Amino acid sequence: MPHVQDTGIAKCVPQPPDFRALFEAAPGLFLVLTPDLVIIAVSDAYAQATMTQRTEILGRGIFEVFPDNPEDPATEGVRNLRASLDRVIRHHVPDAMPLQKYDVRKPEAQGGEFEERYWSPLNSPVLGPDGNLNYIIHRVEDVTDLVRLKKAGMRPPVREDIQSQLERMEAEVYLRNKDVAETSRQLKEANARYVLAEEELLRLHEDLQSHAAQLESANRELESFSYSVSHDLRAPLRALDGFGRALLEDYGPQLDETAKDYLRRIEAAARRMGLLIDDLLGLSRTARAQMQLTRVDLSDLAEGIVKELQQQEPGRQVDVSIDAHLIVQGDHCLLRVVLQNLLGNAWKYTMRTSPARIRLGMNEGGSGPVYFVEDNGAGFDMAYAGKLFGAFQRLHTAEEFEGNGIGLATVQRIIHRHRGRVWAEAAVGRGATFYFTLMSETKEVRSDERQNDSSGGRQPGRRGADFTGVEAESHHQ
């Protein structure tokens, strides 16, 4: 290594400056605030201008130290300063305030009353490396003397070397006052728009109340009509059916076959009318019944419906597949009606198909699960799909398949009440698939259910079933 001669002269390294001392001695009027608006530093000039002591204001909130003058009801100093500081906190940009009247309190030794003061404030953010707000520098210029002279119509006697500074301050105050005027104009326009929006909202609310009253009145009329249908119309139907049966029983031997056929047709029409009344009342009840939302297992519901239908027609053999653990959120009774109609319809329209196959399942759609009932029965022409869910709309004649055309209208009402949708796809002679969705359900519920059942629970299976479905009158209609 080369020899380095020690000259005996130590290198002079300057000590870092005392930034706090520098700040406190700065000629400007400065406060340093935390984002919570607590004072953590104050310059000597600021303390002198506001007649405060540093030790008495450090660690206290700015509005605790500098409240509004309680004897001036028009004062807005605190409100305006708070709004400016809020803008700095929200947007992390400096905020120059217009000329402010903000009185300060004298020390108790000088009487403790408030003294009129005018200020030109500027609030600036100090951001950390992460972009978060660390401090706010609150800088003011005391323009009280200038304002007083202006009010008195006098021009202050100043030296030539500070004349330019006064002119700059006057221009700054003028521009800030213009900004305040523009802001005030915008606020007035916004307030006018708000008033108009509030009036429109009030009008809409009144319209909504009016519509609600009309709906309540219509519901009462519907209930009255339902009562009339249920009681008043049944009486003549019972009379038709009863007297027709009495004629056949009492005078049957005296009647020829044509007369007997007429009476049988009268009885059948009366019974059909009774079923139509029942279906209409059921359709009305689905629209008015109060919903009780619970966790519903569609798979269990479907199994129960299949068992009922097997008992009604044990001779039918239908290959039924029911996906396991179809857990949804909905009204148990109403969703049972949905499955009774869809599964019953699937049965009805597979009666001439061998082997007959029906499936209840679920696919994951883009916005949630999509449930479906699929069969390989008669199907229908998609050109007439728009008629499917209308009351009394049928795509097959009563001679082909019995039914009243109410079932799918009931299904649609129930699904809509669950904030879902229902639709179908089919082809003539190749079966039909009816899809439906329900209100948004928590994926956690369904995934938990499937995880809990994965160790020994029921798996999707296939089982033979026979089902007719008394309430499932409609299907491909």
* pLDDT the model gives residue 467: 36
pLDDT of 455 reads 40
pLDDT of residue 311: 79
Query: What does the DSSP 8-state code read for residue 152?
Result: T
Residues of the chain with pLDDT under 50: 1, 441-477
The predicted structure's pLDDT at residue 310: 80
Q: Is-above-0.75 flag for pTM?
A: no
Q: Which two tokens stand for residue 289?
A: 């019944």
Containing 265, the helix (H) or strand (E) segment is: helix 257-288
Kindly write down the DSSP assignment for every residue of 154-191, as one continuous string. ------HHHHHHHHHHHHHHHHHHHHHHHHHHHHHHHH
**Which domains can be identified in the chain, with CATH numbers?**
19-157 (3.30.450.20), 292-465 (3.30.565.10)
| Residues paired with 372 in a beta bridge | 361, 435
Q: How many CA atoms lie within 13 A of 173 on its CB side?
A: 20
Q: Give residue 162's pLDDT.
A: 58
Tens-digit pLDDT profile for residues 84-131: 999 999 999 999 888 888 999 999 888 889 999 989 899 999 999 999
At CA 475, angle to CA 336 and CA 311, rounded to 5? 55
Alpha carbon 292 to chain centroid distance?
21
HEC string for 290-358: CCCEEEEEHHHHHHHHHHHHHHHCCCCCEEEEECCCCEEEEEHHHHHHHHHHHHHHHHHCCCCCCCEEE
In which residue are the tokens 């009801």 written?
A: 73
Q: Would you report the helix, strand and coil content of the chain in percent, each value rounded to 5?
A: 50, 20, 35
C-alpha angle 355/361/365, rounded to 5°? 135
Which pLDDT belongs to residue 140?
Answer: 92
pLDDT at 193: 87
Distance, in Å, from the CA atom of 376 to the CA atom of 354, rounded to the nearest integer, reads: 9
